[in-house]
């Protein structure tokens, strides 16, 4: 079965392509390369033996999408393409709404024209805002605290309305918690451009000597050790969540919403300690002020995905940091320009 993967050369998309190939699906990537490199295609080939078809196009280019959907007999779309840096979204809200919201509307319009009615959308735990309690179930109230989060929430709302009006469509919203780790081969991983916003790529770059120390944002949260607690999930588990959604939800009409998390919370200090063990070296850090907009604790109740999709995260914290270190230490500058 042919699956169009928007944003398929990015971090989560590339790992998902590998799992799609392993499960017998044929991924066709559409990506404009604004935050990824074509070099990832060679790595996918190295690991899986196949190179996915790659179409360099923007998801806001409807004609290119209709052509890709029709020419490749696409049956389902996994939509990863989007911008994801919270701080940048505050500076450039219009770009975020255009790319993430408008991009999704154009994609759905193209799917409608091409007669493709199955969509899996990359949403985020950010749609839960500052949750009243943990663990978080899918029926918790949603809210947004920044333009990035609002773009995800807006897309969820647009897709909900669209599915109501088009009851034969199958739309799945996957709310990711905190994706970390890399393919166990060390050939693929996260390759952030510029200074990483997220904790784990930052820690990895300190470990490899690209940066001096980790700034720990706040040590006075009401958590086990005062630092923020999150549900870190191995990117391979996350990738498998998409395969489970393709296989278990299938073409079943409806709006399907799932948390993809482990159900465990780890603090910033625990993550640094785990990485030190994996890299066999100390990772210097300094406590600094809280980052505006951060919440104390966030972790998933993943039981709905387990019951309905037969999916659960299986990688341990050690696997997440070991795989992340393998990638970072063998590719200290990411994919470079090969
Ligand atoms: P990424 O930046 O590595 O991948 C996104 C890909 O989309 C990139 O290859 C980029 O070039 C491409 N892209 C962006 N805008 C495009 C456009 N208009 N047209 C075509 N291609 C475009 O990010 P990722 O971490 O792999 O995230 C994938 C998705 O998951 C995003 O939608 C993101 O918001 C969502 N998500 C990510 C996280 C996370 O922590 N990584 C958490 C929750 C949700
Ligand atoms: C962030 C985004 C969220 C997005 C998610 C995945 C914010 C406010 N939230 O979530 O919208 O969906 O990434 O892309 O940006 N930390 C440090 N030092 C650092 C970096 C992070 O101490 O240099 C701490 C944070 O305070 C937090 C934890 O590490 O407690 C995880 O941070 P991060 O990786 O940025 O993810 P989130 O904040 O959960």
Q: What is the pLDDT of residue 55?
A: 98
Cα 133 to middle of ligand 1, angstroms: 28
Q: Determine phi and psi for 152, rounding to 5 degrees.
A: -65, -45
Q: Residue 67 domain-assigned?
A: yes
Contact criterion met (CB below 8 Å) for 169 and 162: yes
Cα 224 to middle of ligand 2, angstroms: 17
Q: What is the pLDDT of residue 338?
A: 53
Model pLDDT for residues 213-250, shown as the tens digit of each residue: 999 999 999 999 999 999 999 999 999 999 999 999 98
Mutate to test the pocket of ligand 1, among 4, 9, 10 (most ligand atoms within 8 A of CB): 10
DSSP line for 243-289? HHIIIIITT--EEEEEEES-S--EEHHHHHHHHHHHHTS---EEEEP
Predicted TM-score (pTM) of this structure: 0.98
Q: What is the pLDDT of residue 193?
A: 86
230 lines ligand 2 (CB under 6 A): yes
Query: Catalytic one among 128, 148, 221, 258?
Result: 148
CATH of the domain at 249: 3.40.50.720
Is 258 assigned a catalytic role? Answer: no
Q: Please tell me the total count of domains within the chain.
A: 1
Pocket of ligand 1 (CB under 6 A): 6-7, 9-13, 31-36, 58-60, 80-84, 99, 103, 122, 124, 176, 179, 198
Q: Which domain holds residue 34?
A: 2-180+232-261+301-314
276 lines ligand 2 (CB under 6 A): no
Model pLDDT for residues 249-300, shown as the tens digit of each residue: 988 999 999 999 999 999 999 999 999 999 999 999 999 999 998 999 999 9
Q: Residue 216 domain-assigned?
A: no
Q: Which ligand is nearest to the CA of 14?
A: 1
Please enumerate in sequence order all residues whose Cβ is within 8 A of that of 2, keeping only pairs 6 or more positions apart, or say none: 25, 26, 28, 72, 73, 74, 75
Strand ranges in the chain using DSSP code E only, listed in sequence order: 2-6, 26-31, 53-56, 76-79, 118-124, 170-176, 178-180, 214-217, 229-230, 232-234, 254-260, 266-267, 285-288, 297-298
Q: Residue 335 domain-assigned?
A: no
Residue 2 burial (CB count, 10 A): 15
Q: Residue 251 domain-assigned?
A: yes
Contact criterion met (CB below 8 Å) for 189 and 182: yes
């Amino acid at each position: 079965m042919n699956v169009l993967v928007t944003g398929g050369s990015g971090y989560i998309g590339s790992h998902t392509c590998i799992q799609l190939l392993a499960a017998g699906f044929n991924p066709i990537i559409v990506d404009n390369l604004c935050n990824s490199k074509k070099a990832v295609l060679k790595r996918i080939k190295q690991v899986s033996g196949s190179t996915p078809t790659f179409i360099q196009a923007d998801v806001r280019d409807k004609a290119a999408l209709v052509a890709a959907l029709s020419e490749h007999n696409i049956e389902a779309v996994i939509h990863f393409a989007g911008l994801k840096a919270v701080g940048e979204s505050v500076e450039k809200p219009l770009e975020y709404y255009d790319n993430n919201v408008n991009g999704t509307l154009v994609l759905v319009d193209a799917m409608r024209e091409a007669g493709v009615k199955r969509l899996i959308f990359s949403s985020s735990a950010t749609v839960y805002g500052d949750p009243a309690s943990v663990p978080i179930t899918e029926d918790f109230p949603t809210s947004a605290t920044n333009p990035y989060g609002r773009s995800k929430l807006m897309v969820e709302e647009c897709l909900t309305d669209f599915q109501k009006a088009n009851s034969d469509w199958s739309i799945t919203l996957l709310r990711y918690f905190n994706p970390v780790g890399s393919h166990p081969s060390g050939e693929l991983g996260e390759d952030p451009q510029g200074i990483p916003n997220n904790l784990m790529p930052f820690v990895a770059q300190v470990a490899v000597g690209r940066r001096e120390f980790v700034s720990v944002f706040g040590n006075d949260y009401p958590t086990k050790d005062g630092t923020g607690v999150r549900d870190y999930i191995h990117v391979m588990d996350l990738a498998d969540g998409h395969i489970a959604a393709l296989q278990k939800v299938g073409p079943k009409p409806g709006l399907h919403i799932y948390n993809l998390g482990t159900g465990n919370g780890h603090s910033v200090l625990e993550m640094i300690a785990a990485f030190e063990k994996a890299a066999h070296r100390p990772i210097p850090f300094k406590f600094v002020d809280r980052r505006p907009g951060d919440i104390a604790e966030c972790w998933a109740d993943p039981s709905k995905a387990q019951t309905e999709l037969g999916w659960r995260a299986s990688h341990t914290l050690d696997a997440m940091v070991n795989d992340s270190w393998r990638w970072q230490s063998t590719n200290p500058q990411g994919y470079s320009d090969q």
